[in-house]
Amino acid sequence: MSGTDAGTTLFRGVLPYGEGEPVDVLVADGRIAEIGRVTQRADRVVDAQGLVALPGFVDLHTHLREPGREDTETVQTASEAAALGGYTAVFAMANTDPVADNPVIVEYVWQRGRDVGLVDVHPIGAVSVGLRGERLAELGAMARSRAGVRLFSDDGHCVSDPLLMRRALEYTRALGGVVAQHAEDPRLTGGAQAHEGPAAAERGLAGWPAPAEESVVARDCLLAHHTGGRLHVCHVSTAGTADVLRWARGRGEGTITAEVTPHHLLLTDERLATYDPVNKVNPPLRTAADTEALRTALAEGVVDCVATDHAPHAPQEKDTEWACARPGMLGLQTALSVVVLTMVETGLLDWRGVARVMSERPAEIAGLADQGRPLRVGEPANLTLVDPEARWVVRGGELASIADNTPFEGMELPATVAATMLRGRLTSLDGKVLS
Ligand code: DOR
Ligand code: ZN
């Protein structure tokens, strides 16, 4: 929908980046038309007193499950969750069924996103055919398709063959793309069920050792420097990986970026005590020292951004014994609150920092020209309004996703998304989707 169709909207008394005095923000033709004391009439007036305005959030890592697992999530339901969570763009992981390793599937997902129209859905293309890690997928054809793929990932699986990774970095470089790596050496994690440490040992669960991630990240950083290709490290989960990234950035800026999930900023392997598979995720929940190190790395910019790794699963895949359960957690509607809890309430980030890690950096990494833009007159009206004083209790059954596997069930979390706007059109308001 174009901004003209959306009419004009006036946000009264909002705080851009949570700073200074409240201002009015007028949106017209899909763009920010005026900031200040606005006297002009508007088609819609939103009382935004006490709300913080931020650029719309961008999620580089979302599992939408369509095609193939529409019993757990669809582009429609994930778009609703995204709009309610403050997102204006999401990147759809390629581990669907069939796998998004060719132009037909990425165009299908892209088109579904446009039809729903609540959030920009950007398909990620698989690096290898069928995610099998053997030969490169049709990277160029996906890049040239209507979906305009720029991010490539075998997420769920690691591109563990160093030669394939090298070629992927070279080809994507030529395409202006990025390889998003799920860093996990499968030789070190075969059969693993939880972070390797005392908590897993006590319960007799096979361990997923931190070096299985760190060694692949180190290798890939060296390959990125060598090839000039762009590497994005998915869901950084250990203090050691943060150290590797610090070291790699010291050797030359620009080609390496990284994300952390909200759950790895907050939850630890102490959750194993419950034996509840809702806490099973890949990479696994680590130690309190790791969450501390990840928070510091995010605050410092060693880790660039937050990405949800929103991973819906059916009840029968989660309400089962730990070893049989699928890894993954919902994230789109809880991400902001967990970032506020772990980064804002701890003093590690202010609202400008939240804009950086939730909007600006992910948009830059993905090369989106119209997302993550500053709140200025003339910029596209992709906006999120946050109520910083509100608190809410998470109920999986009340989230927009079909699946309900949230690890934050019953927790009271700070901050709510009061409104989301995509190119001048409100997509959510006061916890309701506007379609
Ligand atoms: O926990 C996870 N779930 N990690 C992944 O890498 C894949 C994801 C999924 O697709 O469920
Ligand atoms: Zn992954």
Tens of pLDDT, residue by residue over 337-363, are: 999 999 999 999 999 999 999 999 999
Atom of ligand 1 nearest to the CA of 329: 1
Alpha-carbon distance of 131 to 134, in angstroms, equals 8
Q: What residue ranges of the chain are covered by domains with CATH 2.30.40.10?
A: 8-52+378-433
pLDDT confidence tier of residue 129, bands split at 50, 70 and 90: very high
Atom of ligand 1 nearest to the CA of 155: 6
Q: What is the pLDDT of residue 4?
A: 43
Q: Which residues are catalytic?
A: 309
Residue 234: nearest ligand to its CA? 2
Burial of 432 (0-12, 13-18, 19+ CB in 10 A): exposed
Residue 149 pLDDT > 90: yes
Listed residue (107, 150, 78) closest to 400, CA to CA: 78
Q: Which of 326, 332, 401 to mutate to test the pocket of ligand 1 (most atoms within 8 A of CB)?
A: 326
Residue 2 pLDDT > 50: no
| Percent of the chain topping pLDDT 70 | 98
C-alpha dihedral (363, 99, 318, 74), degrees to nearest 10: 60
Residue 329: nearest ligand to its CA? 1
DSSP designation for 256 = E
Residue 93 pLDDT > 50: yes
Q: Is 151 helix (H, G, I), strand (E, B) or coil?
A: strand
Residue 228 pLDDT > 50: yes
Say if ligand 1 is within 6 A of residue 137 CB.
Answer: no
Which CATH architecture fits 56-366?
Alpha-Beta Barrel (3.20)
Record the pTM.
0.98
Q: Over the stretch 8-41, which tens digit does the pLDDT of each residue have?
A: 999 999 999 999 999 999 999 999 999 999 999 9
Taking residues 173-194, what's their average pLDDT? 97
Task: Specify the amino acid at residue 89.
Answer: A
Q: Over the stretch 41-83, which tens digit does the pLDDT of each residue have?
A: 999 999 999 999 999 999 999 999 999 999 999 999 999 999 9
Q: Is 216 helix (H, G, I), strand (E, B) or coil?
A: helix
Expressed in angstroms and rounded, the spacing between residue 221 Cα and the centre of ligand 1 is: 22
pLDDT confidence tier of residue 251, bands split at 50, 70 and 90: confident
Expressed in angstroms and rounded, the spacing between residue 236 Cα and the centre of ligand 2 is: 10
Say if ligand 1 is within 6 A of residue 189 CB.
Answer: no
DSSP designation for 370 = S
Residue 3 pLDDT > 80: no
* Contacts (Cβ under 8 Å, ≥6 apart) of 396: 330, 404, 405, 406, 409
Residue 196 pLDDT > 70: yes
Taking residues 81-96, what's their average pLDDT? 99
Beta bridge partners of 257: 232
Question: How does the average pLDDT of the chain come out, rounded?
Answer: 97
Q: What is the CATH number that goes with domain 8-52+378-433?
A: 2.30.40.10
Say if ligand 1 is within 6 A of residue 182 CB.
Answer: yes
Q: What residue ranges of the chain are covered by domains with CATH 3.20.20.140?
A: 56-366
Residue 93's CB: how many other CB atoms inside 10 A?
A: 27
Say if ligand 1 is within 6 A of residue 311 CB.
Answer: yes
Atom of ligand 1 nearest to the CA of 234: 6
Taking residues 292-300, what's their average pLDDT? 98
Taking residues 110-136, what's their average pLDDT? 98
Q: Over the stretch 162-180, which tens digit does the pLDDT of each residue have?
A: 999 999 999 999 999 999 9
Residue scoring higher pLDDT (36 or 2): 36
Q: What is the pLDDT of residue 253?
A: 57
Q: What is the pLDDT of residue 6?
A: 83
Alpha-carbon distance of 269 to 284, in angstroms, equals 8
Taking phi over 0 as left and psi of -120 to 50 as alpha, with beta for the rest, 398 belongs to alpha
| Percent of the chain topping pLDDT 90 | 97
